Structure 1
Amino acid sequence: MITIVPVETKSQRASFIDFPHDLYEADPNYVPELFLGQEDLLNPKKHPFYKHSQAQPFLAYQDGKIVGRVLAIYNVNHNNFNQVNEGQFGFFDCINDQEVADKLLETAMAWVKSKGANNIVGPINLSTNDTCGLLVEGFDRPPMAMMPYNFPYYIDLITNAGFNKKEDLRAYLVNKANASHRSVLLLDKLEARLERSGIKLRQINLKDFKNEAERIKVVYNKAWDKNLGFVPMTDDEFFYVAKDLKMIVDPKYCILAQKGEEIVGFALGIPNINEILINIKRGRLLPTGLFKLLFGKKKIKTLRVLMLGVLDNYRKLGIEACLYGRIIKNAMPEGIVEAECSWMLDHNYMMNHAIEQINADFYKRYRLYEKAI
């Protein structure tokens, strides 16, 4: 018998977070998320998302054993900004059993419908500003930092439950050995041309982090506003994320394009800390995980470029190429051998073409699903 139970206690929340560790125990590509970070995401008293919206985690039990989990989400800011009335589901993990998957997804649908939603989209792990998408191509290697991972059989579980494709998301891989360095070779000329227009590139100033983050937030909320499912971050949400990223941001990989006092574009790359997290058992920093994290950072060989945005009025000036070029140029002497650029919408032809021009390989595909309720 399958029973779906709402997560209401601290102990249940810990079980919700820990379930994937057991499910993926034999999978060499699985990377455990840090327990503390997941606990904050799911705790209404800690994460700023819950100041404007709601989410309810559920666990599936069979014969007294946890066999699945899901988070039902009703994002008020998303609905208001996009003029829709939909719910989301996220944190979906399940044994390979259609009945268990059906009951979990039906529970999530019933919960968001009770809030007034007429459609459900996922997987989205809280909002599109967090990890989202179901991996549907590229199961042969671990995910990069802040990217999802799942078993291939999840595709059948979700489609058999009546969900249809909404949108695909792309991840590209740039390899140092075969990448075109044209953007690096032309960087000086491109930057000189930008400077004649009064636009200069510089690294983020971590000593003035609060002010820098405030100015980047303006670009972030404007540059992505036409993306599928985008929802602007509140101030609390942006600085919550910025505070966490500050711990791993290297100024060499956070490049700003500035005209006068205005930030008109930026790109952010982060060291792929999943190289370390894959060896931190069950995502616990204590007793030994913290040392692995601290001492392993210098040995990281891969990078993820997770944000690149330019304000509308400054696109097609070559800023994007310069931002990519500066990050590539800075990464080469640091022993970085490859970088992932993710994620891009499948139909974002301009950005996808720009990445393909530097010989990046389209190597992973993620998918968002939807279902009318």
Structure 2
Amino acid sequence: MIKVAAIPSKGKDLRVFIDFPHDLHRDDPYYVPELFMAQRDLLNPAKHPFFEHGRMQLFLAYKDGKLSGRVAAIFNGNHNTFNKSNDGFFGFFDCVDDQEVANALLQAAEGWLRDQGLSTMIGPVNPSTNEACGLLVDGFDSAPMILMPYNPPYYKKLLEQYGLAKQVDLVAYALYDTDLGDKPVRLQEALTARLATKGITIRPFDLKHNFKRELEQFGKVYNAAWDKNMGFVPMTKAEFDFMGKDMKLIADTDFCLAAEHNGEVVGIALCLPDINQVLKKIKRGRLFPTGVFHFLLGRKKINALRILALGVLEPYRKMGIEACFYATIMKKGREKGFNMAEASWMLEHNDLMNRAIEHMHGVRYKTYRIFDKQLS
């Protein structure tokens, strides 16, 4: 017998919701537990600014009295306003390999979305495309990078047999230091000089002394440079502030770059050390009492980066700014002992960016899928 219960975003039920994947995937060598505190805040309407324009209902599924799955049904007001749509979403999907359980969970999410008057069911997003999103459908032979999702292969079957179909694929590229060569770094000086003649400079973000201003500049470019991407949702100032405080704890300013023209930021590159290499060792995502020592000591051994965002305002594209960003990241990465970077995620049909990364010998090594289903 399967029972699906709607739960509040607080207290014991929320802890059960957050902890379920730890038990489900405890024998999977590539599973990385999310930090408990971060997940608790992300799902808490009193803490996370997503809830200033969104709503969410969490569900837990029990089969014969045993916890067997979880899912969230999500309304994203900013998405629908910006895209002039009436979309609903699901996310935080985790389930045992049982189609009946998966169906019951997804039916509960679909029912909630219908009650909100929404026309589609899209996901998984956790809780939007500005956070971890997509279902891993290819590349199960390694752990996910920071802020990227992970799931076992059977999830794809569960979603498809429920009636969800592919909307779009998101691609992750691996850039290995041994394959990159020295050409980008050799060209960097000439490109930098050429940009300087146009009044454009590349510099690291000053997160120590001008954090608020830098975050504001980052937000302006992010919302403008990605606004034509499928599924894009502009982030609010409160969301940028929330994100920035979290990322500041792990960011390395050598990999947080700005292209500036006449005092205004016109391009950004944000790379983060792959803290997942450390989180794998933190049991159930708890920093305390002992996890914090793994966190602090393990950071020095990280050898991979994720290129999380790299974008330039439209009037400044194809001037060499992007190449300078990559060259700077490559040079600093080698100096600091990083031997691999992941560029993610890219829309499968973003030919310009995909060709550019492949030209640098980037290898498509993971694919994530967004599914959808019409509700009316």
TM-score bin, normalised by smaller chain = over 0.9
* Contact map agreement 1:86 1:119 (CA 8 A) in 2: yes
The runs of at least 4 aligned residues of structure 1 exceeding 2 Å deviation read none
Q: Which residue is equivalent to 1:297?
A: 299
Match of 1:138 in 2: 139
Match for residue 151 of structure 1?
152
Letter of the 1:63 partner, please give it.
Answer: D
TM-score of the superposed pair, with normalisation by structure 1: 0.99
In structure 1, what is the Cα distance between the partners aligned to 2:95 and 2:71?
Answer: 9
The reply on whether 1:254 has 2:256 as its aligned counterpart is yes
Cα displacement (A) at 1:308: 0.6
**1:14-44, CA deviations, whole angstroms, 9 ceiling, x for partnerless residues?**
0000000000010000000000000001111
Q: Secondary structure at the match of 1:116?
A: coil
Residues 352, 180 of structure 1: CA spacing in aligned structure 2 closer, same or farther, 3 A cutoff?
A: farther
Equivalent pair of 1:182/1:358 in contact (CA under 8 Å):
no
Partners in 2 of 1:176 and 1:55 — Cα distance? 42
Which residue pairs with 2:6 in the alignment? Answer: 6
For 1:71 and 1:276, how far apart are their aligned partners in 2?
27
Name the residue aligned to 1:97.
98
Is 1:327 aligned to residue 314 of structure 2?
A: no
CA distance in 2, matches of 1:226, 1:182: 31
What is the CA distance between 1:357 and its match in structure 2?
A: 1.3
Q: Deviations over 1:162-221 (max 9, x none)?
A: 111000000000111122332111111111111111110001112211111111110001
Deviation at 1:141, TM superposition (A): 0.5
Aligned to 1:286: 288
Q: Distance in 2 between matches of 1:180 and 1:163?
A: 42
Give the match for residue 47 of structure 1: 48
- The CA deviation at 1:63 is 1.7
The CA deviation at 1:346 is 0.3
Q: Does the CA contact (< 8 Å) of 1:96 and 1:153 recur in 2?
A: yes
Deviations for 1:137-172, whole angstroms, at most 9, x for unmatched residues? 000000000000001000100000011100000000
Q: Tell whether 2:114 aligns with 1:113.
A: yes
Residue 114 of structure 1 deviates from its aligned partner by: 0.9
Superposed CA deviations along residues 263-300 of structure 1, whole A, max 9, x for unmatched, are 00010100000000001000000111101101111111
2:358 pairs with 356, 359, 362, which one? 356
Deviation of 1:7 (Å)? 1.3
Q: What does the per-residue CA deviation read over 1:81-137, in whole Å, with 9 as the maximum and x for residues that have no partner? A: 001101000000000000110111111111111111110100000111000000000
Unpaired stretches in structure 2, ≥5 consecutive residues: none
Paired residues of 1:321 and 1:354 also in contact (CA < 8 A): no
The count of residues paired between Structure 1 and Structure 2 equals 373
Q: Which residue of 1 aligns with 2:276?
A: 274
Cα pair 1:30 1:142 within 8 Å, conserved: yes
Structure 2 matches for 1:193-232, cutoff 5 A?
A: 193-206=194-207, 207-232=209-234
Task: Give the CA deviation at 1:261.
Answer: 1.1
Q: Secondary structure at the match of 1:177?
A: helix
State yes or no: 1:85 paired with 2:86.
yes
Pick from 342, 349, 371: which aligns with 2:344? Answer: 342
Task: Please tell me the residue identity of whatever aligns with 1:216.
Answer: F
What is the TM-score with the length of structure 2 in the denominator? Answer: 0.98
Matched residues, percent identical?
52
